[in-house]
Amino acid sequence: MAKKKVNLFAKHTKGDDEVRLSDKSYLDDYIPPVEEKKEATIKKNIKSVVPIEKVEEKSPAIKRATIVVWDEDLTEFRNMIHTIKKSGNYQYTQKDAFARAVQLLKEEVMTKYGPLQDAPPPKKGRW
């Protein structure tokens, strides 16, 4: 025996007059009120553009740079930071360690060679 195929989504009407109540939507009889169209108005109180003072570009305080280091030194650096974090100082970062290393080296250089001299600006594309 062959199964009868039924399309559940097809609209079924027995005649033009007879429509089941379940097929009828409650919005079918709703007629929305007609709204009057309002004309667009142009605001006449347009403020003039006020010039803004020239903003100088400031270099960011933190820069991302690539440096060449020995693999053993980098591994030891990472191990030191890992040890500090494992001991309970979870907020310690490589940036903090690098800043501390620069501070210690700076103190050593200043005691050995005197005040620091300004280096020339880096070549274009390096920083």
pLDDT (tens digit, 9 = 90+) per residue, 67-125? 899 999 999 999 999 999 999 999 999 999 999 999 999 999 999 999 999 988 878 76
Angstrom distance (rounded) from CA 109 to CA 115: 8
Task: Yes or no: say if 23 and 12 are a contact pair by the CB < 8 Å rule.
Answer: yes
Q: Which residue has the higher pLDDT, 73 or 37?
A: 73
| Res. 40 pLDDT band, cuts 50 70 90 | low
Angstrom distance (rounded) from CA 82 to CA 90: 9
Average pLDDT of the residues in 12-16: 54
Angstrom distance (rounded) from CA 96 to CA 99: 5
Alpha carbon 57 to its chain centroid, in Å, reads 22
Task: Yes or no: say if 111 and 104 are a contact pair by the CB < 8 Å rule.
Answer: no
